[in-house]
Amino acid sequence: MFKGSMPALVTPFKDGELDLDTLKKLVEWHIEEGSHGLVPVGTTGESPTLTHAEHETVVSEVVKAAAGRIPVIAGAGSNNTIEGIRFMRHAESAGADAALVVTPYYNKPTQGGLIAHFTALHDCCELPIIIYNIPGRSAVDMNPITMGELAKLPRIVGVKDATGDLARVSQQRITCGKDFIQVSGEDATAHGFNAQGGVGCISVTANVAPRLLSEMQMATLEGDYARALDIQDRLMPLHQAIFTEPGLVGVKYAMSRLGLCSDEVRTPLVPLTDGTKALVDEGLRHAGLMN
């Protein structure tokens, strides 16, 4: 059910407030462009600076706008298990298809703590869970053995792997099983991730290049890695430019250049520097997305 190109949706703002009209337009655009799923209120959706009410509003509006046409995997991560349970239950009540749950950040739990946290979220409702393993942000790495233990739970169905270690895909196939859904959380290595056994990417760049990334993902899933590599080569400068500074800032700027939304972000993030803007512009031109 969860495969292909799934944009980690930005949260559009207007004068500091949620821009729900633009959010709904983006959902329609992604469906028209061939995205295979939507992931609102992850890090790229600026979850750290949304209030709980805003978080829940964005999830509800995306689910409503998607109207069952493509899956919605709602961000439900927190380093507070009680808050995570709240987000899980809201996502279920809103009609999301699954929840994306990040490894708890800052408080640095042990592997046993990870099992306790994810088990509690698993048991709180009936929503499937995609584990989000991103040690570079959370300061904790869920190892393949721990993931294998959690994969025994019926509703922990997959992982968004942002370790950047392509060997993890094979290791997790051993501990979690070949049917465990593995999607990349890193645009620059998504081609190689699928060659190892992955089935998709929760993508930042797909916010601005959804059709190209949908085509790349489908090419890999059909075994046409040469075609997929041509698209990856076309997009690599854009991937790199977007992540020169925080990725959501880079992709919002890229989207603003195409008239999709404003480049407004919330502090402590700030707009791109002029040098990075030039890199993003070059990446858009190299990808054929801007003259």
Positions marked active-site: 132, 160
Which residues are CB-contacts of 221 (< 8 A; sequence separation ≥ 6)? 3, 4, 194, 199
Structure tokens at 215: 């085509």
* Phi, psi dihedrals of residue 75, rounded to the nearest 5°: -60, 130
Q: In this structure, are residues 252 and 265 in contact, taking their beta carbons and an 8 Å threshold?
A: yes
Cα dihedral sign for 273, 278, 284, 287?
negative
- Written as one letter, the residue type at 153 is L
DSSP category for residue 126: S
Distance CA 140, CA 128 (A): 22
Distance CA 16, CA 13 (A): 6
Cα dihedral sign for 47, 50, 56, 59?
negative
- Written as one letter, the residue type at 8 is A
Helix (H) or strand (E) holding 279: helix 274-286
Helix (H) or strand (E) holding 6: strand 4-7
